Amino acid sequence: MLEVIDKTRNVDVLSGNRCLVHRMAVETPRFNRDYGLWVFSYRNCAEISKRLEPEPRYFKFYGISHILKHEGWYWNGRKKERIKEGDCVISTPGFVQDYYSETGIVEDALCFTGSLADNLFKCGVLRDGVYRLGRGRYLLPMFELVDNPAHDAQIKLNLSLIKLVSSILLDSRRECPSNNHPQLDYLIETININPGKWWTSAEMAEICNLSESRFRVLFKQRTGMKPKEYIDNVKIRQASKMLADSDLPVKRIAELIGYNDPYHFSRRFKRLTGVSPNTYRKEFGFTGKNRF
């Protein structure tokens, strides 16, 4: 395939780390832009270079990687967990993560983008992290369709991808202990869909039909973050996306994520990202045309 991804080193992002940023270097075809989903790149049985430590990075698009051979570690910016053959890693735009191995990892992978992918993320079908997929080459049938621009081929590819990520989510819910509290999933989806709302612990605990103390424990187990920390990250992540992908005024973006005072928003944004909203927009931001 043609090279379709640009990589830029040493860029400040939400975590405060200096990261390797992966960006699309091609424009989304008209049909896929209208459809809302485009698989633009793949890696077929590719080997990842050997590394002993994670390299902080994030993507400006979505990705799913299926580990075919060897074992290693997945790092989400805070902690690491073991990954092995048959696991898959899902990544979403702006999420700092890496996976690595001292023996190298062999993977199949797909990169994709679009408004449909954004909606799948907002409703919780696409989630960052490690999932069990199995030892079959589940991505392989999609590879031959990636380079085929025919509309029928693209529709078939997109539907296959949606079916796969949906099945990964449903399988993980069946296996996850948090399934005893499906209200948590509903709450998390609602928080992501409504970034402008300010939630109290009491409101969230009530939705989940839990005491506040029990809610805090289960929420952190589920997300790895305290409720307020998670909500802050949702707000700032969505603000970052709007700064990068639109020409909305900073004041309007602040309002959309629940800040009536744009100066308060700017201070909070800088505290969590290390840069002001205007600086972030200059680095990553809207250029007046569709970058994808």
Dist. CA 237–CA 269, nearest whole Å: 10
Distance CA 29, CA 31 (A): 6
Of 48, 214, 187, 22, which Cα lies nearest the Cα of 112? 22
Residue range(s) occupied by CATH 1.10.10.60 in the chain: 179-284
Q: Give the type of residue at 118.
A: D
Mean pLDDT per segment of 10 residues, for the chain of length 292 residues? 52 57 89 95 90 90 94 90 94 91 92 94 88 88 92 94 89 62 80 88 84 90 88 90 89 93 92 88 61 30
Alpha-carbon span 250 to 31, nearest angstrom: 31
Determine the topology of domain 179-284 in CATH. Answer: Arc Repressor Mutant, subunit A (1.10.10)
**pLDDT value at position 9?**
53
Residue type, 158: N
Q: What is the pTM of this model?
A: 0.61
User: What was the pLDDT predicted at 289?
Assistant: 37
CATH architecture of the domain covering 5-175: Sandwich (2.60)
CATH 2.60.120 domain residues, the chain: 5-175
Give me the pLDDT at residue 26, please: 86
pLDDT at residue 288, rounded to an integer: 43
Q: Using CA atoms, how far apart are residues 267 and 11, in angstroms rounded to an integer?
A: 20
